Amino acid sequence: MTISRHFLYFIFLGLFWGLSQSLYKAMALQNMPISHVIVYAGFGVGLGLMIAARLAGTKLDCSREVLVFGLGCAILLNIPFAIGLYLIRHLPATEMALIVSTAPFFNYMIALATGRENAVPRRLLAVAAGFASSAVLILSREGMLSGQISWWTLAAFSAPIMYTGYNWFAARFWPKDRDVYSIGASESFWSGIVAVPFMLYFAAPWGPATPELLAYWTVLVAGILWIIERIAFFTLIRDKGAVYTIQAVYVSTPAAVIFAILFYGGGADIWLWISLSILMLALWLNNTGSAIRPVAATQPSS
């Protein structure tokens, strides 16, 4: 049996998304400045994609359309990314993983609002189940039963909401007939460039906030995996569309919880498993029985 390239990308994407929250937690434990992660990873991933393009025999496209699209992706990606890197310093990796996995429900709400999907009972039930999962997670956290609101947990939901905007933009405005290496390199280099002023102001490399050189192993590992992730993500977005690509959370959600428990332990009380179970049910409902309306020919097929 032949395994398709898209399926392999899909599995890798889910596993990487699952591992990413544990990697980000490791960066937090190393006191890695957020701006350093974005700048060094941005330039590193961009360079890696240039090399990958050369090895694949693909000529990089530096047209205005690619550069503008890359800039838009960089801005829309790095705002929630930076927020997530900050919030995971105050939350267990298991909780952050579950919260980020609610992105498909926000994706559906945007598709509903923009007319790309119909309001069918099955999908609306999925949204209700998804928010029920979030409610279980929030209400079961320490202090909630005594009336103290977990503001960090609530704030973390801003990340999947913003990631939804990024996914929609990437699928909706993909430049026609452009390759994934050019798009990925453009986004990555712009990510580094845009974050440089923040790094120089908040955590200059020569300042006291800079950790020891060995602490950057987390950025190096993440950067190598990001090169493959960008190729996989943009290939799926271009060829299959956002609806198909976001289904990688089927893999990432349980993987994220398991990775976090393996690496950090703790945080896996009965309420977290209940929340995970409800979330998996919601994801199944959300990704079956879809009623997607026809979209313009300029958009990727899904």
pLDDT in tens, 45-58: 999 999 999 999 99
Whether residue 164 is contained in a domain is answered as yes
Whether residue 118 is contained in a domain is answered as yes
* d(C-alpha 187, C-alpha 76), whole Å: 10
Whether residue 302 is contained in a domain is answered as no
Whether residue 292 is contained in a domain is answered as no
Domain that holds residue 195: 5-286
Per-residue pLDDT tens digits for 79-120: 999 999 999 898 888 778 778 877 777 877 777 787 766 777
Whether residue 300 is contained in a domain is answered as no
Per-residue pLDDT tens digits for 5-30: 888 898 899 899 889 989 999 999 99
pLDDT over 50 (residue 145): no
Whether residue 172 is contained in a domain is answered as yes
How much of the chain is helix, strand and coil, in % rounded to 5? 75, 0, 25
- Domains: count for the chain: 1
Q: What angle do CA 71, 72, 75 make, to 5 degrees?
A: 85
pLDDT over 60 (residue 300): no
What pLDDT score was predicted for residue 267?
55
Q: Which phi and psi angles does 271 have, rounded to 5°?
A: -70, -35
Whether residue 191 is contained in a domain is answered as yes
Whether residue 136 is contained in a domain is answered as yes
Per-residue pLDDT tens digits for 194-236: 999 999 999 999 988 899 988 899 999 999 999 999 999 889 8
Q: Which residue has the tokens 């950790």?
A: 211
